[in-house]
Amino acid sequence: MRPMLLDHDDSSIAPRAPYLAAAVAYGLGWLVLAWPCLSGRVTIPWDAKAQFLPQIQFLADSFARGESPFWNPFVFSGHPQVADPQSMIFSPPFFILALFNSNPSAWAVDVTVFVTILIGGLALIAWFRDRGFHPAGAVIAALAFGFGAAMSWRIQHTGQVLSLAMLPLVLLALDRALDDVRRSAVAYGIAAGVVSAAIVLGRDQVALLIVYMLAAYAIWRIVSDRAPMSALTRGLAPLGAGAIAGLVLIAIPILLTLALAGQSNRPEIDLIGAGRGSLHPASIITAFAPDVFGSTGSSWDYWGAPSFAWHDRWGQTGLVLAQNMGQLYIGAIPVLLILLGLGSGILVRREIVFFTVAFAVMTVYALGWFTPLFGLAHGYLPGVSLFRRPADAVFLMGFCGAILAGYAAHAVLTPQPARTRPSNWSAGIAVAAGVTLATFTAAIVLAVRMDHVEVALQPLTLSAVIVTFAAALIAWAAWIYPIRPVLAASLLIGASVADLAIQNAPGGATGLPPSTYAILDPATPNETIAILNAKTRERASATRRDRVELVGLGFASPNAAMTHRLESTLGYNPVRLGLYSRATGAGDTVGLVEDRKFSPMFPSYKSTLADLLGLAYIATPVPLATLDPQAKAEDFPLVAKTAEGYIYENPRAMPRAIFATSAAPADFDTILNTGTWPDTDLSATVLLSPDDEREAGLIATRGQGTVSITTYTNTQVVIEVESTRGGFVVLNDLWHPWWNATLDGQRVTVLRANVLVRAVRVPHGRHIVTFTFAPIAGVLAGR
């Protein structure tokens, strides 16, 4: 490949003015397409709010309080937030938002997402300029990239959206690093490494695929150069500098995440588990008719694969995918341009063929177990087995498709003699027409066979009209461009914006009224939240910090504990500590009543573990006996009946800190498996595993002692203790190997006590015990 950009001061660089106009055009299109959220009419729904918004609010609140956000005490009785890929701690856009906004609203988070998409689109336009591609093609590519396929239909997957949004920045810096012959090449290389690190720190499957694609791109740039050895020599310094910069930034966070994966409920996902997240081949129809299967409606109306309708007619697919995860629509004009480019041979030119191949590879990956190649990737490509959904590659399909569409527009709008020969255009037109007709025919046949013609008719008709208009507009623009270039380009861009605004408009999966997530507003009028806050604060003392459970109060409720600083035994997160999940039965979420699963060790709210964790209040929309048949009314007084449901009190909830005068051995695995505890008073005796019991020394005294929590922050707990004969300070917070402790400033062992919590042995007298969360030291020590 002969680089288009040899020197940023060279006169051969495309003039700036047309690309500035392109940036303005894209900005206007961005404003139109993002306006439903920017105006506050709708908000990005589902995981963007239920999972990610509280994480960002926790991050901002921690900064405002001057605390570390590395440990989260508000969900799952404590969670190593620094190692969690969902935490947003290492996401530059949200890190900046949290620094300057101590109380970010849903709207502020939405704006941050769309501003990041805006920046990514502008970087893509700059990359088109560097390559010498047409500015109108740059705008079409930027619009399709930012508002097409998964970037539109799966915008609620905030981490993955941000990973892809930053990709154009890396591509721009990487190409400049390889093209620039001056000293700035190293600076561009470092920039590429830094932004790549930000993407990797998203620690999602989109980031993993981006890393593989960027590595392949850098290799391709070198080997396809007319002088590969010269290109390699020229690229060593910038690529090396970028690699070093990136590795320095990602090393510790990735080590932390890998350690968490090993401690978690899902250290690895097998081929079948991952394959259930494959893109069904029928989803290809959505590249032309995005709502043909009813993706914007309810799950009962959706008839794509997988769905209730598909199962009734075609048998169980085995897939586990939400109805918006297979959407490929990037606009009628971009799709037709891609087909035109493929049929005419435009997209196999050396300057663009990498993205054609990358698009094909990502398509095969997304199809998952529908091709034999995913099995090879799952078995041999590092990182693939950590993720459960190959359909995530739809994000990269949209990105590569956007570039291909922009390049095809460049070819269409570039005057002779640079155009492909007319005979090739005829072949391209034939391919575009044939594939389009075949796809619509397949959609009709499928609708007939599944008795969904009536449901599919309206979206198919609308899509057919839009595709026909797009085809006519492309033909007219190619004809009129030599005479009215601005008019031709403006109409293609304007039509693309209108198309995306109609076909990819906010729906049930991509935009809901902000009131849907009122419980995640820090100033919410929610009565249940207000009562829980009042009750837990009223009972707080030097030894007591009550925990709560929010069960079945709706999809947005489990992580509301983070928003309102309620310490909860549950939450919403697909990644949890395996020991805690095993002990408590905690699942991904408890948005529905039926999501609350009990375990042998936590068989009921009337259980030793519920008391040990200090679970004092349970909020649920149904009577407690419905949720937990073993719970008797006399054991759990009704505190309040609210608009959301019922709040019950567990009067047996233990204090957060206690002083134990004796220790006894216990088989923790037996307790976990059977739920049978030794006949021991846990308010006076601490249970230790045999190893810890030997280290601590088995003691039983008749002494007395008191404890008092003097400091309690996210990552530090300070307890004053005074006793006559010594014993144990027991902190009923979740034990984790990255917690350290000191006794009067001297390092001591944090014992895993009572299966799940922390304890420290103390001698008689008055002492200060300090628990400190030290994740970096812990992971470097192999804990």
pLDDT digits (tens, 9 = 90+) for 426-449: 899 999 999 999 999 999 999 999
Instruction: Look at residue 167 and tell me if it is in a domain.
Output: yes
Q: Are 575 and 55 in contact (CB under 8 A)?
A: no
Asked whether the predicted pLDDT for residue 420 surpasses 60, the reply is no
Q: In terms of DSSP bridges, do strands 757-762 and 746-748 run parallel, antiparallel, or are they unpaired? A: unpaired
Q: What is the mean pLDDT of the chain?
A: 93
Give which of 322, 453, 264 is closest to 46, Cα–Cα.
Answer: 322
Domain identity same for 135 and 256: yes
Orientation angle between helical segments 167-179 and 184-200, nearest 10 degrees? 160
How confident is the model at residue 317, as a pLDDT?
67
Q: Name, in order, each residue with C-beta under 8 angstroms of 482's C-beta and a sequence gap of 6 or more.
A: 415
Domain identity same for 727 and 609: no
How confident is the model at residue 694, as a pLDDT?
66
Q: Which domain holds residue 299?
A: 16-41+105-409+423-503
Domain identity same for 467 and 540: no
User: Alpha carbon of 676 to those of 208, 544, 667, 669, 766: distances in Å?
Assistant: 43, 26, 10, 10, 35
Domain identity same for 459 and 529: no
Final residue of a domain: which of 649, 679, 703?
A: 649
Asked whether the predicted pLDDT for residue 203 surpasses 60, the reply is yes
Between CA 338 and CA 345, with CA 493 as vertex, the angle to 5 degrees is 20
Lowest mean pLDDT across 44-58, 78-92, 255-269, 390-404: 255-269
The residue type at 327: Q
Q: In terms of DSSP bridges, do strands 615-620 and 547-550 run parallel, antiparallel, or are they unpaired? A: parallel
Q: Which two tokens stand for residue 613?
A: 């964790």
How confident is the model at residue 418, as a pLDDT?
45
Instruction: Look at residue 670 and tell me if it is in a domain.
Output: yes
pLDDT band, residue 738 (cuts 50/70/90): very high
Domain identity same for 487 and 384: yes
Instruction: Look at residue 157 and tell me if it is in a domain.
Output: yes
Domain identity same for 241 and 203: yes
The residues facing 743 across adjacent strands are 746, 769
Neighbouring CB atoms inside 10 A of 335's CB total: 24
Structure confidence by residue, pLDDT tens digits, 179-190: 875 668 999 999
Lowest mean pLDDT across 79-93, 208-222, 417-431, 592-606: 417-431
- Residue 358's Cβ-count burial label (10 Å; 0-12, 13-18, 19+) is buried
Instruction: Look at residue 416 and tell me if it is in a domain.
Output: no
Mean pLDDT across the stretch 616-633? 96
How confident is the model at residue 334, as a pLDDT?
98
How confident is the model at residue 1, as a pLDDT?
38
Asked whether the predicted pLDDT for residue 311 surpasses 80, the reply is no
Final residue of a domain: which of 503, 538, 567?
A: 503
Give which of 65, 46, 59, 61 is closest to 110, Cα–Cα.
Answer: 46
Asked whether the predicted pLDDT for residue 577 surpasses 80, the reply is yes
Instruction: Look at residue 9 and tell me if it is in a domain.
Output: no
Mean pLDDT across the stretch 714-721? 98
Instruction: Name the more confident of 52 and 317.
Output: 52
Domain identity same for 114 and 217: yes
How confident is the model at residue 181, as a pLDDT?
59
Instruction: Look at residue 66 and tell me if it is in a domain.
Output: no
Domain identity same for 164 and 27: yes
Structure confidence by residue, pLDDT tens digits, 326-369: 999 999 999 999 999 999 999 999 999 999 999 999 999 999 99
How many domains does the chain fold into? Answer: 3
How confident is the model at residue 416, as a pLDDT?
56
Q: Enter the pTM of the model.
A: 0.94
Which residue's structure tokens are 């085995």?
A: 318
Lowest mean pLDDT across 282-291, 367-376, 662-671, 697-706: 697-706
Asked whether the predicted pLDDT for residue 238 surpasses 60, the reply is yes
Q: Which two tokens stand for residue 419?
A: 């155009």
pLDDT band, residue 6 (cuts 50/70/90): very low
Domain identity same for 220 and 304: yes
Asked whether the predicted pLDDT for residue 9 surpasses 60, the reply is no
Asked whether the predicted pLDDT for residue 267 surpasses 70, the reply is no
Domain identity same for 253 and 365: yes
Domain identity same for 242 and 330: yes
Please state, in angstroms and rounded to a whole number, the distance separating the CA atoms of residues 354 and 525: 54
Domain identity same for 526 and 495: no
pLDDT band, residue 14 (cuts 50/70/90): low
Structure confidence by residue, pLDDT tens digits, 50-91: 999 999 999 999 999 999 999 999 999 999 999 998 999 999
Instruction: Look at residue 71 and tell me if it is in a domain.
Output: no
Lowest mean pLDDT across 164-178, 202-216, 423-437: 423-437
- Residue 351's Cβ-count burial label (10 Å; 0-12, 13-18, 19+) is middle
pLDDT band, residue 2 (cuts 50/70/90): very low
Q: Name, in order, each residue with C-beta under 8 angstroms of 64's C-beta and a sequence gap of 6 or more.
A: 102, 103
How confident is the model at residue 307, as a pLDDT?
85
Structure confidence by residue, pLDDT tens digits, 473-493: 999 999 999 899 999 999 999
Asked whether the predicted pLDDT for residue 422 surpasses 60, the reply is no
Q: How far is CA 88 from the centre of its chain?
A: 9
Final residue of a domain: which of 503, 537, 554?
A: 503
Structure confidence by residue, pLDDT tens digits, 358-373: 999 999 999 999 999 9
Instruction: Name the more confident of 479 and 314.
Output: 479
Structure confidence by residue, pLDDT tens digits, 644-667: 999 999 999 999 999 999 999 999
How confident is the model at residue 425, as a pLDDT?
84
Asked whether the predicted pLDDT for residue 316 surpasses 90, the reply is no
Strand spans (E) along 661-726: 662-665, 685-688, 705-712, 716-723
Instruction: Look at residue 414 and tell me if it is in a domain.
Output: no
Please state, in angstroms and rounded to a whole number, the distance separating the CA atoms of residues 517 and 496: 32
